[in-house]
């Protein structure tokens, strides 16, 4: 028979029917899983469906390390792995396929597959297990590498691990066929897949510095928490004169500009910046520091008017990155050229929070947990503002300047006033009146959640988020009481809570460290099943157990 050009296509599955969503699985291996006295040079895998061979090589890891890379051949359902040299005597070898292995329908493994054999009479029988969660949400972290080291020595952690596996889609992991003993187990978001712990990759510090491998392999009570680990402080990359009185300080990374945690870093006297000319002489003061939230890597320093010339900025300010790493002292040269523009007068930027939408002739409710105010583009010593009721009569509400560009309105009066009021600003750029109609939410419209905790070894911090949305917390409180009331929440509000024990007292969750070893601060997550009910205190049904493991457990275990 003659095969016509268009008649002999590559065979494909018939159309119709539900798409394949079943991960591939192993039918058999040669040698079989757990076999001893193996003396061959190849391992053969047979799957229940055709495999994408390109993903097989990326997914495969072998421990202990071989003298070179293995040779992978085959196609379809059968794949062969040939070792590059002689295997060690009386040694257990583990071949692991991680969740990047896919079939020809692009369906990947749900969890890693491991096959082990021994070149001696016995095979290692140690087991270890655990689970990994995301720090922000508490959701399972699947597809993340898990490295097992002999110890947490700094030199050891810079080399390849003794054993490697990955987390399943539910965040669980398990080591089988490892040598009995104790291991230091780290979760690593190995983005470049070099099987090393590189700077900037997410990590999960173990809850204990020694995880035993035994015949049971029970998981520790506390999970590994996957988070960014960054001990590098933000530094100034460039200083540039943007006006005759303003220096733009560009940082190496975003600064913490969360208005839910305002600071007084921007006021004179709270920073240690000084100015010098090219001869080392002092040339005036550095006044207020300010930023705009849309450019979190930029900090502006208000200075005395500088003539053209060469200068240097020296010192530091109490600013930090999102993980709480504080800026260090330094010196940064810059030049003022001629001509240079004058400083711009303050302009209205936005109401805070940013989500606050002002609708004409309709009062926007401000809830008790919200930080309500106005953000300006540059420092203003005072704000020209009038606050009136709907009849035009003046309303006495406090206006507090929390930093050089942010003014908070009515924090002290929210519980005593619920009538609408009109806020109007004058004297800002552009030369128009900025106004908004607001109303502090009545207690009749708000409710509370009550959270019960136990086994907290320090002050408990609760961050309240809007459920199912990745936003900044609408409320953050700290409490020493195991029964914690979260009041002033809008009726109908659906909440998600992150709760942690603030062992170091810095007001931030600490993800721990590998060397010196320190586990992460105990943390838990709660998603409220029911919305907040107005005029009710809703007690969350489950008590949150924050665990009893202290931060210095490593010292106690040695």
Q: What is the pLDDT of residues 21-51, one digit of tens each?
A: 899 999 999 999 999 999 999 999 999 999 9
Residue in 124, 144, 120 with CA at minimum distance from that of residue 132: 144
Q: How confident is the model at residue 354 (pLDDT cuts 50, 70, 90)?
A: low
What per-residue confidence (pLDDT) applies to 381? 78
Mean pLDDT, residues 477-505:
93
Q: What distance in Å separates the CA atoms of residue 555 and residue 558, rounded to the nearest whole number?
A: 6
Residue range 236-336 forms a domain whose CATH class is mainly beta
Global pTM value: 0.81
Cis upstream peptide for 430 (omega within 30°)? yes
Q: How many residues are given for the chain?
A: 558
CA separation, residue 72 to residues 21, 45, 53, 69, 426 (Å): 26, 11, 9, 9, 74
The CA distance from 89 to 37, in Å, is 9
Q: Can you give the pLDDT at residue 554? A: 34
Q: What is the rounded CA–CA span in Å between residue 240 and residue 127?
A: 58
Q: How confident is the model at residue 122 (pLDDT cuts 50, 70, 90)?
A: very high
Cα–Cα dist 522/223, whole Å: 10
Q: Which CATH number fits domain 126-227: 2.60.40.1930, 2.60.40.1120, 3.10.129.10, 2.40.50.100?
A: 2.60.40.1120
Position with higher pLDDT, 14 vs 379: 379
CATH 2.60.40.1220 for domain 26-118, yes or no, is: yes
**CATH number for the domain whose boundaries are 348-441:** 2.60.40
Query: 86 CB contacts (<8 Å, ≥6 apart)?
Result: none
Specify the pLDDT at position 42: 96
Tens-place pLDDT, residues 400-424: 988 888 899 998 888 888 899 999 9
pLDDT band at 383 (very low <50, low <70, confident <90, very high): confident
Tokens 């995301």 -> residue? 134
Cα–Cα distances in angstroms (integers) from residue 508 to residues 10, 462, 476, 478, in the given order: 58, 11, 11, 11
Collapsing DSSP to helix, strand or coil, 158 comes out as helix
Higher pLDDT: 61 or 433? It is 61
Give residue 9's pLDDT band: very low, low, confident or very high (50, 70, 90): very low
- The domain 445-556 is placed in CATH, from the list 1.20.1050, 1.10.287, 2.60.40, 3.40.50, at 2.60.40
Question: Does residue 337 surpass a pLDDT of 50?
Answer: yes
Burial class (CB in 10 A: 0-12, 13-18, 19+), 383: middle
Look at the alpha carbons of 305, 308, 313, 319 in this order and tell me if their dihedral is positive or negative: positive
Which secondary structure element, helix H or strand E, spans residue 44, and what is its range? strand 42-47
Average pLDDT, the chain: 87
Judge whether 441 and 367 are in contact, CB under 8 Å.
yes
Give the pLDDT of residue 18.
Answer: 64
Question: Around Cβ 363, how many Cβ atoms within 10 Å?
Answer: 17
Question: What is the pLDDT averaged over residues 503-517?
Answer: 90
Written as six digits, the tokens of 279 are 């001869």
Distance CA(557)–CA(192), nearest Å, equals 34
| Residues above pLDDT 70, as percent of the chain | 91
Cα–Cα distance, 114 to 481 (Å, whole number): 47
**CA 394/CA 409 separation, integer angstroms:** 15
Name 197's Cβ contacts closer than 8 Å, sequence gap at least 6.
147, 157, 158, 186, 188, 203, 514
Where do we find the tokens 């009185």?
245
User: Is pLDDT of 549 > 60?
Assistant: no
The two beta strands, 224-227 and 126-134, are: parallel
Q: How far is CA 494 from CA 60, 131, 448, 487, in A?
A: 43, 27, 11, 13
Query: Is-contact 213 150, C-beta < 8 A?
Result: no
pLDDT digits (tens, 9 = 90+) for 477-487: 999 999 999 99
Tell me the two tokens of residue 483: 């029964």
Which one, of 150, 138, 149, 243, lies nearest residue 188 by Cα? Answer: 149
Contact at 8 Å (CB) between 325 and 234? yes
Residues 6+ apart with CB under 8 A from 5: none
What is the per-residue pLDDT across 138-161, written as a single tens digit (0 to 9) for each?
999 999 999 999 988 878 888 889
Where residue 296 falls among pLDDT bands split at 50, 70, 90? confident
Residue 99 pLDDT: 92
User: Quick check: 85 and 68 in contact, CB under 8 A?
Assistant: yes
Please tell me whether the peptide bond between 31 and the residue prior to it is cis, using omega within 30 degrees of 0: yes
Kind and range of the H or E run holding 96: strand 92-97
Per-domain residue ranges of the chain? 26-118, 126-227, 236-336, 348-441, 445-556
Cα separation, 542 vs 426, whole angstroms: 51
Would you say 499 and 451 are in contact if contact means Cβ atoms under 8 Å apart?
Answer: yes
548 pLDDT above the threshold of 60: no
State the pLDDT at residue 431. Answer: 65
At 8 the pLDDT is 38
Of the two residues 393 and 351, the one the predictor is more confident about is: 393
Mean of pLDDT values over 274-289: 92
Work out the percent of the chain whose per-residue pLDDT is above 90. 59
Could you tell me where the beta strands, DSSP code E, fall in 421-482? 421-425, 434-440, 446-454, 460-466, 475-479
Residue 356 pLDDT:
52
- Beta-carbon neighbour count of residue 40 at 10 Å? 13
In whole angstroms, give the CA distance from residue 141 to residue 163. 19
Q: Is the pLDDT of residue 469 over 80?
A: no
Question: What pLDDT band is residue 164 in, cutting at 50, 70 and 90?
Answer: very high
* 197-206, 287-296, 549-558 — most confident range: 197-206
Q: Which two tokens stand for residue 180?
A: 């009995």
- Domain 126-227 and domain 236-336, same fold? Reply is yes
Q: What is the three-class DSSP state of 421?
A: strand
């Amino acid at each position: 028979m003659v095969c016509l050009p268009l008649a002999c296509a590559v065979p494909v599955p018939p159309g119709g029917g539900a798409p394949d969503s079943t991960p591939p699985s192993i039918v058999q291996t040669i040698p079989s899983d757990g076999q001893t006295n193996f003396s061959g040079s190849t391992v053969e895998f047979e799957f229940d469906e055709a495999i994408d061979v390109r993903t097989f090589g990326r997914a495969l890891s072998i421990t202990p390390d071989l003298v070179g890379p293995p040779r992978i051949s085959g196609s379809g359902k059968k794949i062969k792995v040939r070792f590059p040299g002689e295997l060690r005597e009386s040694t257990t070898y583990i071949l692991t396929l991680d969740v990047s292995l896919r079939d020809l329908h692009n369906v990947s493994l749900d969890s890693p597959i491991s096959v082990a054999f021994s070149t001696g009479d016995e095979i290692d029988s140690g087991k270890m297990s655990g689970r990994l969660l995301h720090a922000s949400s508490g959701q399972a972290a699947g597809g993340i590498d898990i490295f097992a080291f002999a110890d947490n020595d700094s030199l050891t952690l810079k080399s390849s691990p003794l054993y490697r596996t990955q987390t399943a889609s539910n965040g669980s992991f398990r080591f089988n066929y490892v040598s009995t003993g104790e291991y230091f187990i780290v979760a690593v978001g190995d983005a470049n897949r070099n099987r090393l712990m590189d700077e900037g990759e997410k990590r999960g510090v173990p809850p204990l510095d020694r995880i035993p491998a035994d015949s049971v392999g029970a998981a520790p009570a506390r999970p590994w928490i996957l988070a960014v680990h960054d001990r590098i402080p933000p530094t100034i990359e460039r200083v540039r004169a943007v006006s005759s009185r303003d220096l733009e300080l560009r940082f190496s990374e975003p600064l913490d500009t969360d208005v839910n945690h305002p600071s007084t870093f921007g006021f004179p006297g709270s920073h240690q910046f000084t100015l010098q000319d090219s001869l080392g002489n002092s040339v005036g003061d550095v006044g207020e520091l300010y930023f705009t939230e849309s450019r979190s890597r930029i900090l502006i320093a208000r200075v005395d008017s500088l003539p053209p010339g060469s200068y240097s900025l020296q010192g530091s300010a109490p600013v930090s990155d999102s993980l709480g790493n504080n800026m260090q002292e330094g010196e940064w040269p810059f030049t003022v050229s001629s001509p240079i523009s004058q400083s711009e007068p303050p302009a209205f930027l936005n109401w805070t929070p940013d989500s606050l939408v002002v609708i004409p002739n309709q009062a926007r409710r401000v809830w008790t947990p919200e930080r309500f105010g106005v953000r300006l583009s540059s420092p203003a010593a005072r704000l020209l503002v009038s606050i009136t009721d709907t009849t035009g009569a003046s309303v006495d509400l406090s206006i507090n300047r929390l930093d050089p560009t942010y003014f908070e309105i009515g924090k002290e009066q929210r519980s005593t006033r619920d009538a609408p009021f009109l806020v109007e600003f004058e004297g800002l750029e552009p030369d128009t009146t900025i106004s908004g109609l607001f109303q502090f939410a009545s207690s009749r419209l708000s409710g509370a959640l009550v959270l019960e905790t136990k086994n907290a070894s320090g002050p408990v911090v609760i961050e309240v988020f809007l459920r199912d949305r990745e936003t900044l917390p609408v409320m953050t409180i700290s409490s020493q009481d195991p029964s914690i009331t979260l009041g002033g929440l809008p009726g109908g509000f659906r909440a998600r809570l992150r709760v942690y024990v603030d062992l170091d007292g810095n007001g931030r969750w600490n993800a721990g460290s590998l060397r010196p070893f320190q586990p992460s601060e105990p943390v838990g997550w709660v998603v409220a099943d029911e919305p907040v009910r107005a005029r009710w205190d809703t007690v969350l049904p489950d008590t949150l157990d924050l665990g009893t493991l202290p931060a210095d457990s490593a010292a106690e275990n040695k």
